[in-house]
Chains A and B, each alone.
Chain A
Amino acid sequence: MEFIAAYLPSAMMNDQTISQLPLALPEIVMLCMASIVLIVDLFLNDKTRGGTYILSQFTLLALVVITVMSFTQQKSIAFHGTFVRDGMGDLLKIFVYIVTFTVFLYSKSYLKARNMYKGEYYVLGLFAVLGMMVMISAQNFLTIYLGLELLSLCMYALVALQRDSIIASESAMKYFVLGAIASGMLLYGMSMIYGATGSLELATINAEVMKNTDNIVLIFGLVFVLVGVAFKLGAVPFHMWLPDVYQGSPTAVAIFIGSAPKIAAFAMTMRLLVDGLHGLHVQWQDMLIIMAVASLAIGNIVAIAQTNIKRMLAYSTISHVGFIMLGIMTAEKGGYTASMFYTIVYTLMALGAFGMIMYMSRMGFESDKLDDFRGLNQRSPWFAFIMLIFMFSMAGVPPFVGFWAKLSILKAVVAADMTWLAVTAVVFSIIGAFYYLRIIKLMYFDTPQETSAIEGASDLRIMLSLNGIAILGLGFYPEIIMGLVTSVM
């Protein structure tokens, strides 16, 4: 009963809680702004929809400022151990805002051309960001679940945003059903762990786990929790939803699903496995190894067979998740740092690749076939070059930043005395290089199917160029991000 009392509203609103409110300032601002955007949008029509867009973008930028201003390395736990504010969380949140900002910017003209330029996209997007923020800052099973569901529900709705598209509805359904099952698994695992430790707070759980690592109920719970985590990350064998959802959802939504939530999923994994269940790391290490190697294998090999670029990117995501898991698998600080670096770098690359699809698309033309990239070098040499940067970076070829991300992971894996695993990972990344090369081949070596110039909105063009240059520039000096990541870990 004591436990329930702790979560009752009356108990929550004591003086201590109120004094801790500033810690959750970004979340509070986000909630308020998302609600304001929702209301403001009611008074706007299609002509004045720009207001919603600008307000959403302003919110994200304001949150960047707020989080940077209140940035803290110090770990403070608030609200009866349900919420944590630390450097890792702050940094990840900043990247979530930046990534979402870029997503909104890239997708504006795409949405306009498809009669999807509605307030719902932005409101759902902002609430999804709120969900991610809660996930990142969660320090309790309930908060993790709360954040995860807030994010997922928004995502399900976003996928179904194109109501009259059969394929979009199908993927939304698929996403929802599988997502619900995964959430169920996660909850089941959490209840097991609660049963074994008597607590939902990660810190308490960790202390309990340390006392008795052989508890079979705990390990049972761990397996289910890991299933939930793997589903959200998109790791094999829980990856089935990813290609279908990427392909089925409008590109403007696919780019969102493929970017920012990965950061949140990484944070969730870290919170659960490291903050909460570090005592069981011998057990989860083995499970992660299997899932990571399977993800690398399936992701890279199956991607070769794809003709739809969104589907190909989905499989490429799966293989990248394999790398991210390898870093976490080391159960050492160096590995966590490398994984976090990899996650951030990956989202920047994924943004660019999806951004390119939206840049090439226009009214009535999705440009999501590989063949649509044929001869891009003749139509637009600059953007062919930008896409080349993204592809080589994803393949892990220097001097682009993707190489440094892979190098950090490999370094952590080798440092953990698992050189064979590093060798396995590089072998699969060679296989992966093939399908990235194929895109470059299409762009540079083939002749275009059509020669019309590509019309892209100028803000999209500028941002996409910046995105590409960032990948190249960070390749020369990855310490800009790596230094930040190291400082908060």
Chain B
Amino acid sequence: MFETWPLLSLVIWTPIVGGILVLATGGDKNASEARVLALLVAIITFALSIPLYTEFNVAKGSMQFIEHAEWMTLGDLRLYYHLGVDGISMPLIVLTTFITVIVVIAGWEVIKYKAAQYMAAFLIMEGLMVGVFSALDAALFYVFWEALLIPMFLVIGVWGGPKRVYATIKFFLYTFLGSVFMLVAFIYMANKTGNFEILQLHSLKLTMQEQMFIFIAFLLAFAVKVPMWPVHTWLPDAHVEAPTGGSVVLAAIMLKLGAYGFLRFSLPITPDASQELAWLMITLSLIAVVYIGFVALVQQDMKKLIAYSSISHMGFVTLGFFIVWAIYDKTTENTDMIITGINGGVVQMISHGFISGAMFLVVGVMYDRIHSRQIADYGGVANTMPTFAAFAVLFAMANAGLPGTSGFVGEFLVIMAAFKANPWFAFLAATTLIVGAAYTLWMVKRVFFGEVANEKVKALKDINSREFFFLSVLAVMVLFFGLYPAPLLEVMDESVENLVRHILQPKIPL
């Protein structure tokens, strides 16, 4: 029944229009109406995104649910409203709509100041993020990509912590700085093809020098967003200052935009430059995995700790993407391990979406009660909040990559592929299993176990049914994909294979 529906457009525009309606409910007098409406819109959008999964043809590696219309002619450039998803972007879209429902529920009673604007910002952000994942026209992609900064800028700045202004301006300028170079690269290529169609850019022949420049322009945009070491410094600030919902969306989805960009743009458009610079990408990824892991170990602030752990985990994603050429053996032309590596990266993206989102929600639950994120202010929380502690320990285990949780699957696949590339890569990457366990479990120990630390902790009340709901939903997802990742791997397999075939073809004109 959904074949004739413009599903992607609906998933993009329902939350945006819904967000405007939520704004229209006005000031804080009508906060409860705004919340109900926001939840309704979020649930409808999530429901609309389900058919993307159920109706998805897993045997097809190319784009599906395509919508293609003329948008405008700008000078001699033609711009299209071109949407479509493949097995890589579809799960990310469903993740986005899912997380937004959680975020709306998580902000329910907590946000009292300008609740309507808060909810609206997240709904609009949701639409824009889905737009980024489904745009097949680079100009359209860029519009969504940049427009996304506006609601996030406001969310951090209006509802954030004490140093929010510094954090949010840093966030905005950093990301803006990265993306404008990408824009110039798009324009450069569009001048050759006459339009911004991403699929045409994929087959555009480019010399090595051009590819190098374009790759670096893309790298600036995506590395900032992922974020990769050394351009990650905005992330801990943004995370610490952002309200819980902001942190969740930032960690669960926004960081994936950069990784998605590597898959959709860098690798297929500039494969030769990617091959040439793969050493750099692998090095940066490994530094992120190992070094940032150690940085996380010494953090006193829980949110900062999780932020650094996010950077470290995202290092796996980029590692999985860029070991392609280290694995590839021209004589056998066997691509199985390459696919495993990229699959691992994508699974890691999805799984990190659930886990990091859950971790930030866990911190949020405690912050709402005690208004502190310092590890030192807690201790023995498990005594006063036993149910909550059970969830927290589960998510912490997942964050550490315990087998049986979704965190394990992605990391395992990437390490496996890395081993094939170079045992040293695998060795370095695998240290995260130890370091990750160390920083996460040490934090859990200090916060949840031991004696009740102070009067505030003693007065804590266990989670209410609202909090129980969103934590348990996330717990189910984490365990489900940990034990049975097949549904996820199944949808992306064909698309990843398609991508790998494409990137192994040199694009330099003869």
The answer on A and B forming one complex is yes
State the main secondary structure of chain B at its contact with A: helix
Q: Which of B84-92, B183-191, B420-428, B484-492 contacts A (4 or more CB under 8 A)?
A: B183-191
Give B28 Cβ to nearest chain A Cβ, in Å: 11
Q: Report how far A486 CA is from B74 CA in the complex, Å.
A: 9
Which residues of the partner chain A approach B114 to less than 8 Å between Cβ atoms? 377
Q: Please, what's the 1-or-0 string for B66-82, where 1 marks a CB less than 8 Å from any CB in chain A?
A: 00000011111100000
A381 in contact with B117 (CB, 8 Å): yes
Select B157's contact among A404, A419, A441, beta carbons within 8 Å. Answer: A441
Residues of chain A within 8 A (CB-CB) of B173 are: 430, 433-434, 437
A399 to chain B, nearest CB (A): 5
Quote the shortest CB–CB distance from B113 to chain A (angstroms). Answer: 10
Residue of B nearest to A419 (CB): B188
CB distance from A395 to the nearest CB of B (A): 8
Please name all residues of chain A whose beta carbon is closer than 8 Å to the beta carbon of B187 when the two chains form the complex. 407, 410-411, 414, 422
Indicate if A403 sits at the interface (CB-CB under 8 A).
yes
Q: How far is the CB of A479 from chain B (nearest CB, A)?
A: 4
Q: Contacts A477-B72, A482-B75; is A429 near B180 (CB within 8 Å)?
A: yes
CB within 8 A of A338: which of B75, B147, B183, B190?
Answer: B75
Report whether B75 and A334 are in contact in the complex, using a CB–CB cutoff of 8 Å. yes
Q: Does A337 contact B (CB under 8 A)?
A: yes
Docked-complex contact B74 and A408, CB < 8 angstroms: yes
> Is the pair B146, A411 in contact by a Cβ cutoff of 8 Å?
no
Q: Cβ of A444 < 8 Å from any Cβ of B?
A: yes
B474 close to A (CB within 8 Å)? no
Interface size of B as a range: 35 or more
**Any chain A CB within 8 A of the CB of B154?**
yes
Nearest CB of A to B214, in Å: 11
Q: Which of B164-172, B242-250, B305-313, B354-362 lies on the face that meets chain A?
A: B164-172
CB distance from B177 to the nearest CB of A (A): 5
Contacts of B181 in A (CB 8 A): 423, 426
* A430, B146: Cα distance in complex, Å: 13
Q: How far is the CB of A440 from chain B (nearest CB, A)?
A: 8
Instruction: A415 to B74: give the CA distance in the assembly, Å.
Output: 13
A459-481 contacts to B, CB under 8 A, are 477-479
Which residues from 385 to 400 on chain A have a C-beta closer than 8 Å to any C-beta of chain B? 388, 392, 397-399
In this assembly, does B477 line the interface, its C-beta being within 8 Å of a C-beta of chain A? no
User: In angstroms, how far is the closest chain A Cβ from the Cβ of B128?
Assistant: 9
Whole-angstrom distance between the Cβ of A251 and the nearest chain B Cβ = 27
Interface residues of B in 203-243 (CB under 8 A from A): none
Do B74 and A479 have beta carbons less than 8 Å apart? yes
Q: Are B184 and A445 in contact (CB under 8 A)?
A: no
With a CB–CB cut-off of 8 A, which chain A residues contact B176?
397, 430, 433
**Residues on A with beta carbons closer than 8 Å to the beta carbon of B154:** 440, 444
Among candidates B72, B77, B142, B164, residue contacting A411 with C-beta atoms closer than 8 Å: B77
Q: Which residues of B contact A433 (CB under 8 A)?
A: 172-173, 176
- The reply to whether the CB of A412 lies closer than 8 angstroms to some CB of chain B is yes
Secondary structure class of chain A's binding surface, majority of residues:
helix
**Partner of B143 from A398, A445, A486 at Cβ < 8 Å:** A398
Among candidates B74, B158, B168, B184, residue contacting A426 with C-beta atoms closer than 8 Å: B184
In the complex, what's the smallest C-beta–C-beta distance from B9 to chain A, in angstroms? Answer: 14
Partner of B75, one of A397, A444, A486: A486
Interchain CB contact under 8 A, A408 and B165 = no
Q: B146: which of A337, A388, A398, A414 is its contact (CB, 8 Å)?
A: A398
Beta-carbon contacts under 8 Å, A324-352 to B: 334, 337-338
- Per-residue CB contact flags for chain A residues 404-444 toward chain B (1 = under 8 Å, else 0) read 10011011101100010011001101100110011011001
A397-B146, A430-B177, A433-B176 known; A445 vs B74 contact (CB < 8 Å): no
Contact at A408–B75, with CB atoms within 8 Å? yes
Contact B72 A478 (CB under 8 A): yes
Contact with A397, one of B76, B150, B191 (Cβ below 8 angstroms): B150
B149 contacts the other chain (CB 8 A): yes
Q: Is A483 an interface residue (CB 8 A)?
A: yes
Complex Cα spacing A334 to B76, Å: 8
With A411-B75, A445-B158, A483-B73 as known contacts, state yes or no: A403 contacts B184, CB within 8 Å. Answer: no
Q: Hey, which chain A residues are within 8 Å of B188, CB to CB? A: 414, 419
Contact A441 B165 (CB under 8 A): yes
Q: Which B residues touch A434, using CB under 8 A? A: 169, 173
Q: Which of B75, B76, B143 has the most CB of A within 10 A?
A: B75
- Is B153's beta carbon under 8 Å from chain A? yes
Residues of A within 8 Å of B74, CB to CB, are 404, 407-408, 411, 478-479, 482
* Residues of chain A with a CB closer than 8 A to B184's CB: 410, 414, 419, 422-423, 426
Instruction: Collect the chain A residues with CB atoms within 8 Å of residue B142's CB.
Output: 398
Q: A404-B74, A433-B176 are in contact. Are A426 and B183 (CB under 8 A)?
A: yes
A337 to B75 CA separation, bound complex (whole angstroms): 7
Taken residue by residue from 332 to 343, chain B's Cβ proximity to chain A (1 for < 8 Å, 0 otherwise) reads as: 000000000000
Q: Identify the B interface with A (CB < 8 A).
A: 27, 72-77, 114, 117, 139, 142-143, 146-147, 149-150, 153-154, 157-158, 164-165, 168-169, 172-173, 176-177, 180-181, 183-184, 187-188, 190-191
Q: Could you pull out 28 A-B pairs where Cβ atoms are within 8 angstroms? A: A377-B114, A398-B146, A398-B147, A399-B147, A403-B146, A407-B183, A408-B74, A410-B184, A410-B187, A411-B77, A411-B190, A414-B188, A415-B191, A419-B184, A426-B181, A427-B180, A434-B169, A441-B157, A441-B168, A444-B154, A445-B157, A478-B74, A479-B72, A479-B73, A482-B73, A482-B74, A483-B72, A486-B73
- List of 7 A-B pairs having minimum Cβ-Cβ separation, nearest first: A479-B72, A426-B180, A398-B143, A445-B157, A398-B146, A414-B187, A399-B147
Further pairs besides A397-B147, A410-B183, A414-B188: 7, Cβ < 8 Å: A377-B158, A397-B149, A399-B143, A411-B75, A422-B184, A426-B180, A445-B168
